[in-house]
Amino acid sequence: MPDVTLTTLQALKQKGEKITMLTCYDATFAKASSQAGVEVLLIGDSLGMVLQGHDSTLPVSVTDMAYHTASVKRGNRGALIVADLPFMAYATLEQTLQNAGALMQAGAHMVKIEGAAWLAESITRLAERGVPVCAHLGLTPQTVNILGGYKVQGRQEAQARQMVADAIALEQAGAAMLLLECVPVDLAGEISRAVKIPVIGIGAGPQTDGQVLVLHDMLGLSLSGRVAKFVKNFMTGQASIEDALAAYVKAVKDVSFPAAEHGFSA
């Protein structure tokens, strides 16, 4: 496929075609995923759990992220590459610019940061310097200790209104994409319609502009043995990993995934 850019994703949103995203951490899976038609590869700090065996994303370093971003870049065949800025890598504006620069130089086309409207200045400064940003709202794993665990966010009306306002503020600050994690289905749809930028969901239902899953989850692999409600095993019934990747792309595109059982109500 032709190289995917932000313009590509914006066009997909405008014509109502769903965007496919998967986490990716190495060259082999980058090649397989991008050749299967996955438009966006996310080097997630989830690598701390699925690759390194930690119980959270917090131990992941910028060095870890840059290493895996460079690996993904070498295997990629045209997908857009997004890399997470890990825990405390954007605590100050100076840190944000330096660490985002390191991930872009490693091969990312965009960085992702977790947080609400307080990120506005950092997003503006990054965008001014040529670094596109994906903002992450809802369940933000880096703040799991404040959230009190991995819980659905936005079920209370006040929290839902704030999330809509935050999404609009982040778009106005210059965010080029938004990721919603573990958000009620109707709220995710409202946010997707409230902003012009593409909105990707995980555990946020089918009304977002696209979907993302952790690669290992969609292949039925789990260290803990626990499977989140929003996960589907796409290896089931498939003869190969390549077939499972193609099945994931097809299911997102034809909106058969996520189904009702994968979402959360308010």
| Residue range 11-41, pLDDT digits in tens | 999 999 999 999 999 999 999 999 999 999 9
Q: Which residues are catalytic?
A: 181
In CATH, what class is 6-262? alpha beta
- Angle between helix 62-75 and 27-35 (nearest 10): 50
CA 1 to chain CA centroid, nearest Å: 21
DSSP label at 235? T
Confirm or deny that 3 is annotated as ligand binding: no
pTM equals: 0.97
Model pLDDT, residue 179:
98
Question: Long-range contacts made by residues 95-101, C-beta under 8 angstroms, separation at least 24?
Answer: 96/122, 96/125, 96/126, 97/125, 97/126, 97/129, 99/62, 100/126, 100/131, 101/131
Q: Which residues, in sequence order, are CB contacts of 180 under 8 Å at separation 6+? A: 137, 138, 188, 191, 199, 200, 201, 202, 204, 208
Cα–Cα distance between 177 and 195 in angstroms, integer? Answer: 10
210-213 and 80-84 strand pairing: unpaired
DSSP 48-100: HHHTT--SSSTT--HHHHHHHHHHHHHH-SS-EEEEE--TTTTSSHHHHHHHH
Q: What is the pLDDT confidence band of residue 145, given thresholds at 50, 70 and 90? A: confident
Kindly tell me if the per-residue pLDDT of 107 is higher than 80.
yes
Question: According to the annotation, is 112 in a ligand binding site?
Answer: yes
pLDDT tens-place string over residues 46-99: 999 999 999 999 999 999 999 999 999 999 999 999 999 999 999 999 999 999
114 is in an annotated binding site: yes
What are φ and ψ of residue 43, in 5° steps? -80, 95
Asked if residues 245 and 38 have their Cβ atoms less than 8 Å apart, the reply is: yes
> Domain residue spans in the chain?
6-262
Q: Tokens for 113?
A: 């940061």
What is the C-alpha to C-alpha distance for residues 44 and 57, in angstroms, rounded to an integer? 9
